[in-house]
Amino acid sequence: MRTKDQGFTLIEMMLVVIIIGVLASLVMPRLVGRTEQAKIAAVKADIEANIPLALDLFSSDIGRYPTAEEGLMALRANPGSLDKWGGAYLKRDPKDPWGNPYNYRSPGSHNTDYDLYSSGPNGIDDGGSGDDVGNW
């Protein structure tokens, strides 16, 4: 029996540290690499739902999608001469999880109305190829 004055021995403390280390070594490989998958899932959600919804609302108000010159920033601020602009259509700047702006082309080369894509983890605009994630 322990008395109030006694603490844990060095061996008991070492056993606890070893057990925590073994558990961490089992869990960590499953968690590592998930952040990149989560970022790609977030990009797909933005490209397939969030930004297209804002683009459709813009098109509904203005009668057309933003031009390539206006870009996605037309969803955040009136580009100047649009009387029926009813935005802001997006609450935040359209940037991917890697901090790069989404690429937007109108008319698109893959789609009739517009192409929307992220440059991916490497941040290099490959024109929609390589590790880019797009709406086609």
C-alpha 100/C-alpha 123 separation (Å) is 7
User: What's the pLDDT tens digit per position in 50-62?
Assistant: 889 999 998 988 8
Residue spans of the domains in the chain: they are 35-134
pLDDT at 128 over 70: no
| This model's pTM is above 0.85 | no
CB atoms within 10 A of CB 51: 21
Residue pair 134/110 in contact by the 8 Å Cβ criterion: yes
Helix, strand and coil in the chain, % to nearest 5? 40, 10, 50
Determine the Cα–Cα distance for residues 72 and 112; give it in Å rounded to an integer. 17
Instruction: Name, in order, each residue with C-beta under 8 angstroms of 50's C-beta and a sequence gap of 6 or more.
Output: 90
pLDDT at 33: 67
Look at the domain 35-134 and name its fold. Glycoprotein, Type 4 Pilin (3.30.700)
Average per-residue pLDDT in the chain?
Answer: 83
The model's confidence at residue 78, banded by pLDDT at 50, 70 and 90, is confident
